[in-house]
A and B are shown apart, each in its own frame.
Chain A
């Protein structure tokens, strides 16, 4: 195949002529829904819009309810919500895009946006967004997140809601040890040292060494010495360079010198982080509001508290804004109709309903000032942290997924145990996103 030609179009390579022929023959034989999984209208004039998403609470009906509300007001469109497990969405999207039959819209994880955009599958949303009368209501960080942190990039997706990372800590442990709330990175290290007691299986900080733990690493680096010590002009990594390696030393020293992290740190993911908090293995951990409910129900509201990320010697703090967003697909049936739906999800009404039910943070200022969000202490810390919250650097780079899901989780073990130097560790991470 293709030895004569140097370049082949994607379609040819993806679907050999054989398959197309076999498919046509077979679909002629097999009775069934004529258009396969397609969402084209069957008889009626209504456009059946296919929307894929995942939710954290499988018993929640919130998206179906929102679709019902939307459908009532849009006689020509019927949104068909297909919920799937979070882990299944991306692979299914890849397959559907490959097959030339993507859904009309979907929720999409920020880590996958760069790749799917590079595949040419996303329908840019700038012209729609620019025409919104209330577009200034959106939190700038969220809009920037939909541009993958690059002001000049197209609006790949529609902002939906967000999550802001902060530090959970055990006020009871801190009180017993006579420690103040951890406000600075120095406070933090001192507190971790004070509450660590390996004999009792107690550790100061739940370090996330498994996949995506690099998020916390970059948060510490940027809080310690500013974002300029992480990412240089043009977005290239600089955190591994000799003048900035002190940050990585500080981070790895939590395990190497201070020994305030559990021996399992290199393999701990968000689940272990939270389980360790619940069971009293660790006294602090970084996460966001989605863990607050389960922590409160296990530990009691009086024994778990949140503070914004500690500030570094520079007096600045830097935290993660994790944007959740919806994509409109270029290969869908009707991008205009799909926009109607994803912009409805981002409307004040739908955003309030969804965030109240699902636990995310609104990305409209008007909704964020709602008493509901101001009265929840964890939402309050999140919203208060918003001015210092940004998309994790390098998210827009093609090697980001490799850094997050391969290099980082594989190398934390040798790095935290001291077998691998700070310089080599940082260097290997930087290599992925050069």
Chain B
């Protein structure tokens, strides 16, 4: 019997160690979600029973069917996607512009503006909620995608601007200068040189804006209550009624809302890693 080479043995050992560390993380992340999943799959009469059932004795897809057949969940999905993608696009563009200014220029008021962005999230939503309704009504944006896209972009600006300023500032300015010497415009240098190298930071920021917009409830309930623009978190809230929580439907909805984002993330991760490698080769 041949003994494995020391290097391979060490590799195996480190994989073992990594999994030893990863397993609790996976269990902790997944555990509560699995309970939600189980709840979504059992008939209503089996949800609250003693002793607790970890493995359901009967499984049904009734709750999921209900969401799509008796309620307009396809429509809510589409609305949530439009709002989340729109917020991500708008939020990224305007934040990037500011981040570039903060990272590449020194100008009077720079520190003031950076701090100003931090003041935005310092006020509780409850106080912003009522005046914002008035603003959206007066501007004619109430019950439109635009109201949520504008609102979510502005709530995510502070984080997005600070994050991307850090990324941009960390990248050496010399490459952009070289590109400009070669005849690139400032915008050209930004798009061709800075953006590709800042991909990890930008995509993390994009993911942040997307998830925040995807899951936001309070403002959506206030500004976009109309069926035609209703987003998933608002639809889910319909299962928390005045007198009870409809756990079967709520759990099914919670699962349905979460999974697409996970899939999107996995796909993006692959793209992202591919993009990084490509950039390194150039």
| Direct contact between A and B judged by beta carbons closer than 8 A | yes
- A residues contacting B by CB (< 8 A) are 14-15, 19-20, 23-24, 26-27, 30, 32-37, 54-59, 82-88, 91-92, 94-96, 98-99, 101, 109, 201, 270-271, 274-275, 278-281, 287-288, 290-291, 294, 297-298
In the complex, which of the residues B135, B222, B243, B246 contacts A88, with contact meaning CB atoms closer than 8 Å? B222
Is the Cβ of A98 less than 8 Å from the Cβ of B244? Answer: no
Is the Cβ of B133 less than 8 Å from the Cβ of A99? Answer: yes
Chain B, Cβ-Cβ closest to A16 = B131
- Per the bound structure, the CA–CA distance linking A20 and B246 in Å amounts to 42
Q: Contacts A27-B139, A30-B140, A34-B140 hold; do A88 and B134 have CB atoms under 8 A apart?
A: no
Is the Cβ of B133 less than 8 Å from the Cβ of A23? Answer: no
- Per the bound structure, the CA–CA distance linking A92 and B237 in Å amounts to 15
- Per the bound structure, the CA–CA distance linking A28 and B24 in Å amounts to 57
In the complex, which of the residues A20, A55, A280, A290 contacts B244, with contact meaning CB atoms closer than 8 Å? A290
Is the Cβ of B244 less than 8 Å from the Cβ of A36? Answer: no
Is the Cβ of A270 less than 8 Å from the Cβ of B240? Answer: no
**B225 on the interface (CB 8 Å rule)?**
yes
Is the Cβ of A82 less than 8 Å from the Cβ of B48? Answer: no
**B94 on the interface (CB 8 Å rule)?**
no
Q: Contacts A58-B239, A275-B48 hold; do A30 and B222 have CB atoms under 8 A apart?
A: no
- Per the bound structure, the CA–CA distance linking A116 and B214 in Å amounts to 33
Is the Cβ of A281 less than 8 Å from the Cβ of B225? Answer: no
Q: Contacts A27-B140, A59-B71, A274-B244 hold; do A95 and B237 have CB atoms under 8 A apart?
A: no
Q: With both chains docked as a complex, state the minimum distance between the C-beta of B199 and any C-beta of chain A, in angstroms.
A: 34
Contact with A along B55-79 (1 / 0, CB 8 A): 0000000000010001100000000
Stretch at the interface among B96-104, B141-149, B265-273: B141-149
Is the Cβ of A26 less than 8 Å from the Cβ of B138? Answer: yes
Is the Cβ of B243 less than 8 Å from the Cβ of A291? Answer: yes
**B245 on the interface (CB 8 Å rule)?**
yes
- B residues contacting A by CB (< 8 A) are 44-45, 47-50, 66, 70-71, 129-131, 133-144, 146, 221-222, 225-227, 234-235, 237-246, 249
- Per the bound structure, the CA–CA distance linking A29 and B68 in Å amounts to 38
Q: List the A side residues contacting B244 at CB < 8 Å.
A: 56, 270-271, 274, 290-291, 294
Q: List the B side residues contacting A94 at CB < 8 Å.
A: 130
Chain B, Cβ-Cβ closest to A58 = B238
Between A and B, 21 residue pairs with Cβ closer than 8 Å are: A15-B134, A23-B135, A26-B139, A32-B141, A36-B142, A58-B71, A82-B225, A84-B221, A84-B234, A85-B237, A87-B237, A88-B237, A91-B221, A94-B130, A95-B129, A99-B134, A101-B137, A275-B48, A278-B48, A290-B243, A298-B44
- Per the bound structure, the CA–CA distance linking A366 and B227 in Å amounts to 35
Chain A, Cβ-Cβ closest to B246 = A58
Is the Cβ of A279 less than 8 Å from the Cβ of B140? Answer: no
Is the Cβ of B226 less than 8 Å from the Cβ of A82? Answer: yes
- Per the bound structure, the CA–CA distance linking A101 and B142 in Å amounts to 12
Chain B, Cβ-Cβ closest to A54 = B242
Q: List the B side residues contacting A26 at CB < 8 Å.
A: 138-139
> For B71, B133, B237, B238, which residue has the most chain A Cβ atoms within 10 angstroms?
B238
Task: Please give me the 10 A-B residue pairs with the lowest Cβ-Cβ distance, nearest first.
Answer: A23-B138, A37-B142, A95-B133, A58-B238, A85-B237, A59-B70, A88-B221, A99-B134, A278-B48, A86-B242
Q: List the A side residues contacting B136 at CB < 8 Å.
A: 36
